[in-house]
Amino acid sequence: MKQIQSKDNPLYKKALRIAQGRKVGRETWVWLEGIHLCQAWLDRGYEVAQLWVDAERLELDQELQQLIKRVPAQQIIQLPSALMRQLSQVEHGQGVGAVAAMPEHVLGQTIHHSCVYLDRVQDPGNVGTLLRTVAAAGIDAVYLSPGCAAVWSQKVLRSAQGAHFALQLYENVSIDDFLERLCVPLYVTALEQAQSLYTMKLPPSVAWAFGNEGQGVAPALLQAASQAVYIPQSTAVESLNVAVAAAVCLFEHRRQHGVN
Amino acid sequence: MKQIQSKDNPLYKKALRIAQGRKVGRETWVWLEGIHLCQAWLDRGYEVAQLWVDAERLELDQELQQLIKRVPAQQIIQLPSALMRQLSQVEHGQGVGAVAAMPEHVLGQTIHHSCVYLDRVQDPGNVGTLLRTVAAAGIDAVYLSPGCAAVWSQKVLRSAQGAHFALQLYENVSIDDFLERLCVPLYVTALEQAQSLYTMKLPPSVAWAFGNEGQGVAPALLQAASQAVYIPQSTAVESLNVAVAAAVCLFEHRRQHGVN
């Protein structure tokens, strides 16, 4: 285990840049804040570049002691609470975070499996909740259009609760790039000229597109869709939150295909 | 229409306190920020005490001009942009907000209809999304335990998108007070000793309880439940967001009872 005492340590300065979401070199690094995210990452068999731990809290906190056992000693760095608080991106941090290399997936020639396309979903909390919902629904690939919240940002990581590590994530995929690869039927949610989710038989593999919070999905997606779908809702409110609408669709699909 | 130029105006000072979520006298006032919330409020036939409008933006903005037509002139107050920005609780406000008396509902002797009980749901965004989802599912009463996010706070109002005005909301209702009034079957979501949502026939009227983000529902609710329910999900993530879990349950109920 290493000990770092100075804020001028080069490794610490690099970690700080990464935690703050700034670029470091050519590689794409990510800051995984807190016990749960680090655990979820390690559970997937991924490695960390460094695990940063508050030395004072480590002495007292059994959960932290358990966590560091899972990481090779040479990757663990202990540091004073004051330095750890600088690294931490949340108000009441747990005294731990990891620097890790972001998994990168290269867009294939074709898309043959169930997946989700997010069209300009701007709110980081919505994107995070969507990822968590998609993973829980058993789908493993998400394509994000330009204009979506940055998928590896701290806010998205926080609300996705580790779902990132269960998914293949493709950022900055234009509608054209997505459509020209797509070999499964495209279903989009729409309020007009759409069929009720509860009166249709969903095919085994579906690509679902969910759109911007205010504007919904782009016309190009609607035109390319095999089916436009609406969720039969009360008129008491105008619409559903995008992550909630996605949940209703994805779990109805799961129900129809007998996953109990 | 009134004009207010000074930040020392007593009515302005009172509105500022209300907008900032501080108490003003014995009555319970609420600040409704932005065009959409004001519209949703007026759509329900409710009145505003004052509608505060940025005078400079009013001249240019047709949506604002439409909105003020719906409010009696003596309730409209125009003010300079600098004062309006102080009132506004969001970064890029729309130059309008209303002060209104919060609707208060008195807990009845019995609860005979479908409803939702929220047990220590702490995140304001989750509470707001839950309200929006509940209203969209056609349920009109929500009971909130002590420890839930304050239901009339700006963050909850923002994510509920006007759902507040379609619902009867009861705050600080203890589990005991809720259970002793309840005359419909209680369904709670739980991960253990529960039955799959997709293998059960839901009764026409259900009280649903959804619990704290980390801990789920309290043991007292589990014990009192007619049925514990789980949502069949992939093991790729530990659990669903509470608003998402609620959406899956409430819309499955809606589907089973033939609301297409």
Q: What is the mean pLDDT of residues B133-151?
A: 97
Question: Would you report the helix, strand and coil content of chain A in percent, each value rounded to 5?
Answer: 35, 20, 40
Q: Considering CB atoms only, which of B136, B196, B240 is closest to A234?
A: B136
Q: Which segments in chain A show pLDDT lower than 70?
A: 260
Q: What percent of chain B has pLDDT over 90?
A: 90
Contact pairs from chain A to chain B, CB under 8 Å:
113
Query: To the nearest 10°, the Cα dihedral for A30, A36, A41, A45?
Result: 160
Architecture of domain B2-101: 2-Layer Sandwich (3.30)
Per-residue pLDDT of B46-103, as tens digits, reads: 999 999 999 999 999 999 999 999 999 999 999 999 999 999 999 899 999 999 998 8
Q: Whole-number mean pLDDT of chain B?
A: 95
Closest CA to A79 of A122, A15, A142, A27: A15
List, as own/partner pairs, every contact residues A70-75 make where C-beta atoms lie below 8 angstroms and the sequence separation is at least 24, other chains included.
Answer: A70/A39, A70/A42, A71/A42, A71/A98, A73/A1, A74/A2, A75/A47, A75/A48, A75/A49, A75/A50, A75/A51
Cα A241–Cα A245–Cα A248 angle in degrees, nearest 5:
140
Nearest to B129 among A236, A241, A251 (CB): A241
State whether B260 and A135 contact (CB < 8 Å).
no
Q: Can you give the pLDDT at residue A24?
A: 77
The closest CB to that of A236, out of B136, B240, B255, belongs to B136
- CATH 3.40.1280.10 domain span(s) along chain A: 115-256
Q: Which residues of chain B make contact with A251, given a CB cutoff of 8 A?
A: 231, 248, 252
The CATH fold assigned to A115-256 is Alpha/beta knot (3.40.1280)
Confidence of residue B260 (pLDDT cuts 50, 70, 90): low
Domain with CATH 3.30.1330.30 in chain B: 2-101
Distance from CA of A44 to the nearest CA of B (A): 10
pLDDT at A22: 86
Residue to mutate among B157, B165, B251, B253, with most A CBs inside 10 A, is: B251
Please tell me the predicted confidence (pLDDT) of residue A260. Answer: 62
Which CA distances in Å does A224 have to A174, A191, B31, B201?
14, 16, 43, 37
Tell me how close the Cα of A207 comes to any Cα of chain B, in angstroms: 18
B2: Cβ contacts below 8 Å, ≥ 6 apart: B74, B76, B77, B78
Best probe of the B interface among A113, A156, A230, A244, by most B CBs < 10 A, is A244
Interchain pair A260, B198: CB under 8 A: yes
Taking CA B39 as the corner, what is the angle to CA B35 and CA B40, rounded to the nearest 5 degrees? Answer: 120
Phi, psi for A180 (deg, rounded to 5): -70, -15
**Are A241 and B196 an interchain contact pair (Cβ–Cβ within 8 Å)?**
no
Q: pLDDT digits over A213-253, tens only? A: 999 999 999 999 999 999 999 998 989 999 999 999 999 99
- Predicted ipTM of the assembly: 0.92
Average pLDDT of chain A, as a whole number = 95
